[in-house]
Structure 1
Amino acid sequence: MTVLQVLPGLDSGGVERGTVDLARELVRRGHRSLVMSSGGRLQAQLEAEGSTHITYPVHRKSLASLWRVPGLRRELDELAPDVIHVRSRIPAWMVWLAVGKRPPGQRPALVSTFHGLYSVSRYSAIMGCGDRVIAISDCVRDYITGNYPQVDPARITRIHRGVDTAQFPAGFTPSPEWRDTFFADYPAARDKPLLLMPGRLSRWKGQLEFIELLARLRGANIACHGLVAGEGDPGKEAYREELVARAAELGIAGDLSFLGHRSDMAELYAVASVVCNLSQHAEPFGRTVIEALAVGTPVVAWNEGGPAESLRESLPAGLVTKGDMDALAAAVSGFLAAPPAVSLPASFTLQAQVEATLAVYREAIAAGAAAQSGN
């Protein structure tokens, strides 16, 4: 089949990486993979792995996006996909206005993925437009059914995000060259247990709580070094400066390294003793959790949202009541003292995700064909 995934851009983030992962698997299985976005740093990888990228401005939250709907309609008719998979609200609105009002069977099958716990509004309701709707976790599925009653539960399929175990293999060991370069760049991290905090620099991601955790561990004479992997949004550099100042205030500036954007996450997970997920709002999934678990590194996270779903099935000892800093420090120190055996359940692998997603695509295509024959 020909599958077109549509999303705002391809710079970084869980949605973007998941799009590229699925595209790679579609190509490997002999399907025609198309991705439409405004472009970004992951575009080169996407194309190198066999997909076709169509650059189109499907990212702007402005009236100009409405003016581009006729051009998008022509573009979609020319591409003639069997399935259009929309992954964000602006692209979903544009695709729906372009072809969604055509009867099923006279347009591509539409599949939408709820990647987040979107604000409840008419604007967000468009994510229920698909002939089939994918929820990336049980908490997202419950959020849809609880807040968007117009979305028939029979159209919703929960498909956990899956990690590519070829990119994040169990027991992965970084090369000596990588280790030499990394510890030359960050000498303060050498010969210490490493705590890794991956994710975009944003207050809700919990970096301030991570710094508090490091201070508590130091106060308990537990040696470790913190790594913050991720960059902030343009124009929001003040938050990074706040983090640096807070670390200095707590006397742990030398126990913390800011790594910025990284493309070597498998290596970072592998050298870390513990990975932390401390988001202040319930995350719909939490890709870094399953990536770390796939490599074999224990994860500590608040007991809510998508990350909790992953850990309940793989490492429940890593779950901590949200905001309980004492329990958080105890869980991390426990893992440092006695590293647990870690393995990722098969249901959280890319293989399982792709199989389930292809099944949804086929259901949507079949439903459209049945509707057309019924007419």
Structure 2
Amino acid sequence: MAKPPLRVVQVLPELNAGGVERGTVEFAQFLVAQGHQSTVISAGGRLVPELTAQGSEHIAFPVHRKSLASLFKVRSLRRLLMQLAPDIVHVRSRVPAWMVWLALRGMPHAQRPALVSTFHGLYSINAYSAIMGCGDAVIAISECVREYILNNYPKVDPAKISLVHRGVDTDQFNTQCRPSTDWLAQFDREFPGLRQRPVLLMPGRLSRWKGQLEFIDLMAQLRAQNIAATGLIVGDITPGKDDYLGELKAKVAALGLDEQVKFLGHRSDMAQLYAISTLVCNLSQRPEPFGRTVIEAMAMGTPVVAYNVGGPAESLALALPQGLVATGDGQALLAKVAEFIASPPVPKQVPEFTLQTQAQKTLAIYQRLLVQTGNLNSTGGTE
């Protein structure tokens, strides 16, 4: 007997750029395709039109402010959740988690949905971050994150923690996906001559620990060895870090790399950029919880060079272990990138890192949780 549809509400601060936001939209699309009712609560953002076009509902609500004023919105959020009557509420960030947790505490038990929380990050270790362990089920997005939870939050029952790696939408990112003639023509008009050299892509939010400064050093070292290459730095500026972008551009100018290194800002055409790239770099200076760009690039068949730390290292260990270098070892990085430029390897395609696998595992957690709690609303649930 088929399981009846679920009402699922995902809650996160905003729907702008970022792996959490993109993953929320992709999972919402999966829910709709499976016949479930999908709602996302956030303060809004550039991904809202895409979300709603795919059949999900978006409700704008101020769940993004790291302020005590957010606590005054808890009662309104409780009323909203009672109107929506979801089977599952899935929280993906700390402020929304606190607001939802407080809202659910004030609900009659019979009307209270099951709560799922996902640790998307290696948060600072304190009582504020501990709320991410509040779920009836807790999802860790990598083994690195699972170990972080176990080591730092002993009050979280290990039996509640499930490992679900982030996954790539293989309809969008795959080895058969290639840029159209129009896209290539537009890119060449915008950046004349860049594709005539090997392209090194450095995607990720502009933040000092993400390694953009080290990437620029790498480009200078390649030039010094007479290895021609183009470097593309792609990503939004971290809010309040405009001075960092200025520092990056000043360094490029000082090294005379203006013709080799370009800043593309936020892009919505990442599949095309991966496709034209010879390789992708991930040079984060501290452990990342997962590293979405790493698995996106490898799903496209584009090799990745990354420091051997955190979530990206887990992904490469399974798909392209020869792409790992010791963290901060500039000479090893230079040698590996030169090797990959000369002879790019082909990453292994790992089913564990697909959206389909991620979504199915997450849905199975929902179903299992609802069976365990017996906490079903009238329109959703299990057999």
**TM-score category, normalised to shorter length:** over 0.9
Inter-CA distance 96–160: structure 2 relative to 1 (3 Å threshold): same
- Pair 1:261-2:261 in alignment: no
1:230-249 to structure 2, matched below 5 A, reads 230-249=235-254
Checking the alignment, whether the CA contact within 8 Å between 2:308 and 2:325 is kept in structure 1 is: yes
What is the aligned partner in structure 1 of residue 83 from structure 2?
78
- Equivalents in 2 of 1:327, 1:71: separation in Å? 54
Q: AA paired with 2:177? A: F
CA distance in 1, matches of 2:132, 2:369: 16
| Counterpart-to-counterpart distance in 2, 1:168 and 1:139 | 24
The CA distance in 2 between the partners of 1:190 and 1:354, in whole Å, is 36
What amino acid is the match of 2:126?
A: S
* Aligned residue type for 1:335: F
**Equivalent-residue separation in structure 1 for 2:288 and 2:249 (angstroms):** 25
* Aligned partner of residue 160 in structure 1, secondary structure: coil
Distance in 1 between residues matched to 2:50 and 2:62, nearest whole Å: 20
Structure 2 counterpart SS, 1:323: coil
Q: Name the structure 2 match of 1:36.
A: 41
Query: CA separation of 1:19/1:251 partners in 2, compared to 1, >3 Å: closer, same or farther?
Result: same
Verify: 1:338 aligned to 2:343, yes or no.
Answer: yes
Q: How does 1:334-373 map to 2 (within 5 A)?
A: 334-369=339-374
- Counterpart of 2:86 in structure 1: which amino acid? P
Q: Secondary structure at the match of 1:308?
A: helix
**Which residue matches 1:194?**
199
Cα distance in 1 between the residues matched to 2:47 and 2:151: 35
Matches of 1:24 and 1:282, distance apart in 2: 29
Contact 1:195–1:226 (8 Å) recurs in 2: yes
State how far apart, in whole Å, the 2-side matches of 1:41 and 1:341 are. Answer: 34
2:322 matches 1:322: no
Residue 301 of structure 1: CA displacement? 0.4
| 1:164–1:351 contact (8 Å) kept in structure 2 | yes
1:174 aligned onto 2:172 = no
1:101 is displaced (CA, Å) by 6.1
- Any idea what the Cα deviations from partners look like across 1:294-333, whole Å, max 9, x if unmatched? 0000000000100000000000010000000111111111
- Equivalent position of 1:215 in the other structure: 220
Q: Helix, strand or coil: the match of 1:122?
A: coil
Paired residues, what number? Answer: 372
Contact 1:290 1:344 (8 Å CA) reproduced: no
Aligned residue in 2 for 1:300: 305
Verify the 8 A CA contact 2:40 2:56 in the aligned structure 1. Answer: yes
Q: Which runs of 5+ in 1 are unaligned?
A: none
Q: 2:20 aligns with which of 6, 12, 15?
A: 15
For the aligned residues, what is the CA RMSD? 1.5
Deviations 1:188-219 (A, max 9, x none): 41311000000111111110000011111111
Structure 2: how far apart are the matches of 1:137 and 1:190? 35
- Secondary structure of 1:172's counterpart equals coil
**How far 1:367 moved relative to its partner?**
1.8
Inter-partner Cα distance in structure 2 for 1:355 and 1:291: 19
Q: Does the CA-based 8 Å contact 1:188-1:254 persist in structure 2?
A: no
Confirm or deny that 1:99 pairs with 2:104: yes
Q: Pick one of 137, 150, 153 that aligns with 1:148.
A: 153
TM-score (norm 1): 0.97
Partner of 2:73: 68
Match of 2:129 among 124, 129, 152: 124
Measured after TM superposition, the shift of residue 343 of structure 1 is: 3.1
Displacement after TM superposition at 1:163 (Å): 0.2
TM-score w.r.t. structure 2 length?
Answer: 0.95
Give the conservation status (yes or no) of the 8 Å contact 1:299–1:318: yes
SS of corresponding position for 1:177: helix
Give the Cα–Cα distance (whole angstroms) in 2 for the partners of residues 363 and 101 of structure 1: 25
3-state secondary structure, aligned to 1:121: coil
SS at match of 2:264: strand
Structure 1 stretch 338-347 or stretch 274-283: which is displaced more? 338-347
CA drift at 1:342: 2.0
Structure 2 segments unaligned to the other structure (5+ residues): 1-5, 378-383
* Cα offset, 1:368, TM superposition: 1.5
Deviation at 1:370, TM superposition (A): 7.5
User: Residues 253 and 207 (structure 1 numbering): CA distance in 2 closer, same or farther, change over 3 Å?
Assistant: same
